Structure 1
Amino acid sequence: MKNSSKLSRFIPMIDWIKNYSSGHFKGDLNAGITVGIMLIPQGMAYAVLAGLPPIYGLYASIVPLILYAIFGTSRQLAVGPVAMVSLLVVAGVGEIAEVGSDRFIQLAIMTAMGVGVFQLLMGLFRMGFLVNFLSHPVLSGFTSAAALIIGASQFKNLLGIDLPRTNYVHEILMGVFEKAAIIDPYTSAIGIGAIVLIIMIRKWKPTFPSALVVVVLGTLVTAGFGLDQQGVAIVGEIPRGLPSLEIFSFNLGDFQQLLPTILVISLVGYMESIAVAKAIANKHGYKVDPNQELVGLGVANIGGAFFQSYPTTGGFSRTAVNDQAGAQTGMASIISAAIIGLTVLLLTPLFYYLPMAVLASIIIVAVAGLFDAAEMKYLWKTDRKDLAMLATTFVATLALGIEEGILVGVVLSLIVVIYSSSKPHSTELGRLGETRNFRNIQRYPKAKTDRKVLIYRFDSALFFANVTHFQDRLDELIAARGDDLELVILDASSIHDIDSTGIHVLRDFIEDLQDKGIELYIAGAIGPVRDKLKTCDIIQEMGIKNFFFDVHDAVTTFYSEKNQHPDYEYSPLQTNS
Structure 2
Amino acid sequence: MRLPTRQSLLPFLRWLPSVNRKKLSNDALVGLTGAILALPQSIAYALIAGLPAEYGLYAAIVPVIIAALWGSSWHLICGPTAALSIVLFTSVSPMATPGSDTYIGLILLLSFMAGIFQWLLGLLRFGALVNFVSHSVVLGFTLGAALVIALGQLPNLLGIEIASQPTALATVLNLGQHLSEIDWPTFAVAGFTLVISVLIKLLLPRWPALLIGLLAGSLLVLFMPKQFAHVGLVAAFEGSLPPLHILDFNLNDITRLLPAAIACGMLGLVTSLSIARSLATKSRQFLDANQEVRAQGFSNMVGPWFSAYASAGSFTRSALNLQAGAKTPLAGVFSAILVALFALFGTQLIEHIPLPSMAAGILIICWGLLDFAGVKSLYRVSRSEFLVMLLTLGATLLMELQTAIYAGVLASLFFYLKRTSQPRVRFWQEDEEALLRIEGSIFFGACHYVQQILQRSQGERVIIDAHHVNFIDYAGVEMLHQEARRLGSLKRQLVMRRARQQVIDEIQKLEGAEACPIVFED
TM category, shorter? 0.7 to 0.9
**Pair 1:16–1:360, CA change in 2 (3 A):** closer
Residues 1:43 and 2:45 aligned together:
no
Deviations 1:295-338 (A, max 9, x none): 0122123333433255232755345357x4543xx555444443
SS of equivalent residue, structure 2 residue 20: helix
Residues 1:34 and 2:29 aligned together:
yes
Query: Size of the alignment, in residue pairs?
Result: 505
The residue number in structure 1 matching 2:78 is 80
Residues 1:528 and 2:508 aligned together:
no
The residue number in structure 1 matching 2:234 is 235
Of 303-312 and 268-277, more deviation after overlay is shown by 303-312
Q: In the alignment, residue 463 of structure 1 is paired with which amino acid?
A: F
Deviations 1:144-176 (A, max 9, x none): 333222212222211112123213445444444
Separation of aligned partners in 2, 1:229 and 1:106? 41
Separation of aligned partners in 2, 1:399 and 1:469? 35
Q: Indicate if the aligned counterparts of 2:150 and 2:366 stay in contact, CA closer than 8 A.
A: yes
Separation of aligned partners in 2, 1:362 and 1:274? 24
Q: Indicate if the aligned counterparts of 1:112 and 1:312 stay in contact, CA closer than 8 A.
A: no
**Pair 1:293–1:262, CA change in 2 (3 A):** closer
The residue number in structure 1 matching 2:266 is 263
**Pair 1:236–1:399, CA change in 2 (3 A):** closer
Residues 1:368 and 2:371 aligned together:
no
Query: Cα offset for 1:232?
Result: 1.0
TM-score (norm 1): 0.76
Q: In the alignment, residue 436 of structure 2 is paired with which amino acid?
A: Y
Residues 1:274 and 2:277 aligned together:
yes
Query: Cα offset for 1:471?
Result: 0.9
Separation of aligned partners in 1, 2:43 and 2:226? 21
Separation of aligned partners in 2, 1:359 and 1:110? 33
Separation of aligned partners in 1, 2:62 and 2:245? 13
Separation of aligned partners in 2, 1:388 and 1:107? 42
Separation of aligned partners in 2, 1:492 and 1:16? 47
The residue number in structure 2 matching 1:385 is 384
Aligned counterpart for 1:469 among listed residues 420, 443, 449? 449
Structure 2 matches for 1:61-140, cutoff 5 A? 61-74=60-73, 76-81=74-79, 86-89=81-84, 91-93=86-88, 102=99, 112-113=111-112, 115-140=114-139
Q: Indicate if the aligned counterparts of 1:463 and 1:498 stay in contact, CA closer than 8 A.
A: yes
Give the % identical residues: 25
Separation of aligned partners in 1, 2:389 and 2:181? 37
Q: Indicate if the aligned counterparts of 1:425 and 1:459 stay in contact, CA closer than 8 A.
A: yes
Query: Cα offset for 1:7?
Result: 4.0
The residue number in structure 1 matching 2:432 is 452
Residues 1:210 and 2:247 aligned together:
no
Deviations 1:413-448 (A, max 9, x none): 34334333433322225xxxxxxxxxxxxxxxxxxx
The residue number in structure 1 matching 2:178 is 179
SS of equivalent residue, structure 1 residue 457: strand
Of 416-425 and 37-46, more deviation after overlay is shown by 416-425
**Pair 1:386–1:124, CA change in 2 (3 A):** same
Separation of aligned partners in 1, 2:472 and 2:175? 60
Q: Indicate if the aligned counterparts of 2:75 and 2:279 stay in contact, CA closer than 8 A.
A: yes
Deviations 1:56-79 (A, max 9, x none): 6654443233313442234x3342
Q: Indicate if the aligned counterparts of 1:65 and 1:79 stay in contact, CA closer than 8 A.
A: yes
Q: Indicate if the aligned counterparts of 1:274 and 1:293 stay in contact, CA closer than 8 A.
A: no
Quick check: which has more Rg, 1 or 2? 1
Separation of aligned partners in 2, 1:510 and 1:180? 71
SS of equivalent residue, structure 2 residue 241: coil
Q: Indicate if the aligned counterparts of 2:268 and 2:312 stay in contact, CA closer than 8 A.
A: no
Separation of aligned partners in 1, 2:132 and 2:262? 19
**Pair 1:87–1:241, CA change in 2 (3 A):** closer
**Pair 1:404–1:376, CA change in 2 (3 A):** same
Query: Cα offset for 1:466?
Result: 2.1
Of 47-56 and 166-175, more deviation after overlay is shown by 47-56
Unpaired runs of 5+ residues, structure 1, are 430-448, 549-577
Deviations 1:544-564 (A, max 9, x none): 98420xxxxxxxxxxxxxxxx
Q: In the alignment, residue 522 of structure 1 is paired with which amino acid?
A: M
**Pair 1:306–1:457, CA change in 2 (3 A):** farther
Q: In the alignment, residue 312 of structure 2 is paired with which amino acid?
A: T
Of 462-471 and 87-96, more deviation after overlay is shown by 87-96
Q: Indicate if the aligned counterparts of 2:43 and 2:57 stay in contact, CA closer than 8 A.
A: no
Q: In the alignment, residue 274 of structure 2 is paired with which amino acid?
A: M
Query: Cα offset for 1:124?
Result: 1.0
Q: Indicate if the aligned counterparts of 2:481 and 2:518 stay in contact, CA closer than 8 A.
A: no
Q: In the alignment, residue 266 of structure 1 is paired with which amino acid?
A: L
Deviations 1:524-575 (A, max 9, x none): 2223223334545899778898420xxxxxxxxxxxxxxxxxxxxxxxxxxx
The residue number in structure 1 matching 2:313 is 313
Deviations 1:98-134 (A, max 9, x none): 9xx6379888766754553333222111112233443
Q: In the alignment, residue 164 of structure 1 is paired with which amino acid?
A: A
Query: Cα offset for 1:33?
Result: 0.7
Q: Indicate if the aligned counterparts of 1:142 and 1:405 stay in contact, CA closer than 8 A.
A: yes
Aligned counterpart for 1:505 among listed residues 459, 479, 485? 479
Q: Indicate if the aligned counterparts of 2:436 and 2:464 stay in contact, CA closer than 8 A.
A: yes
Deviations 1:195-217 (A, max 9, x none): 22222222234453222223323
Q: Indicate if the aligned counterparts of 2:463 and 2:495 stay in contact, CA closer than 8 A.
A: yes
**Pair 1:336–1:146, CA change in 2 (3 A):** closer
**Pair 1:211–1:255, CA change in 2 (3 A):** farther
SS of equivalent residue, structure 2 residue 415: helix
